Amino acid sequence: MDQQITVLPGGPGLDADLHLAPGARGIVVFVHGSGSSRRSARNILVARELQQAGLGTLLFDLLTSQEERRDAVDASLRFDIGFLTDRLTAVVDEVVARPQLAGLPVGLFGASTGAAAALGTAAARPGVVLSVVSRGGRPDLAASALSGVRAPTLLLVGSLDTKVIAFNEQAAAQLPAEHQLSIIPGATHLFSEPGTLEEAARQAAAWFSRTLPPAPG
């Protein structure tokens, strides 16, 4: 059920953690934000909630160790949404080509700048990415791609994260497909307040369960 794998082995070779239970109804690919990794405690908590809902999860390192060192010095990659979107799109293309994952509906869960990359990939692969959830995301950074997003999109923002609420409201107005902006009471940007991240995880699981179609067979 749990595997450590390498995605894009012919390219950057990124470490990833795959959880896939028998009979999984879909696969959700996680996209972390700047300065984070596949080991993000917040994303792991959300992933476990999705797994309990019968979904497979893939958490991967968006940057190589060399890219992380470079970004730590000059911050040149964390806001390069085009680069991050291309990297994520390549991972999604590989996911749907893997025999063990072929045919599974694909969802994306993005946090912070990773949410912008998720929406960019959703626009680039409208027939593949079928649902998106953003947690504390910056969807406004994907402004040029928003009109092309066809996947149902849930935008989760903390009620105390006022600047990011405004960014999400602006982005929501540009999304042509089904979308919802959900404000989590008492949460700041990192959802570190007791119970707030758990509520975000529950809403994400419910969203994916409703919007991802049944897996073939």
Report residue 26 CA to chain centroid gap: 14
pTM: 0.95
Distances (CA, A) of 37 to 83, 87, 119, 131, 177: 16, 14, 19, 22, 29
217 located within any domain: no
Question: Do residues 140 and 120 lie in contact, with contact meaning Cβ atoms separated by under 8 Å?
Answer: no
For the chain, how many structural domains are there in total?
A: 1
24 located within any domain: yes
Question: Which residue is associated with the tokens 């990011």?
Answer: 164
Report residue 109 CA to chain centroid gap: 2
The pLDDT-based confidence of 177 (bands split at 50, 70, 90) is: very high
For the stretch 112-157, pLDDT in tens is: 999 999 999 999 999 999 999 999 999 999 999 999 999 999 999 9
216 located within any domain: no
40 located within any domain: yes
Question: Do residues 91 and 7 lie in contact, with contact meaning Cβ atoms separated by under 8 Å?
Answer: yes
89 located within any domain: yes
The pLDDT-based confidence of 193 (bands split at 50, 70, 90) is: very high
45 located within any domain: yes
Mean pLDDT of 79-100: 95
60 located within any domain: yes
Whole-angstrom Cα distance, residue 26 to residue 58?
A: 11
- Does 138 or 79 have the greater pLDDT score? 138
Q: Domain limits at 192?
A: 2-211
For the stretch 2-23, pLDDT in tens is: 999 999 998 999 999 999 999 9
Q: What is the CATH number of the domain that holds 195?
A: 3.40.50.1820
189 located within any domain: yes
Retrieve residue 151's tokens: 């996947």
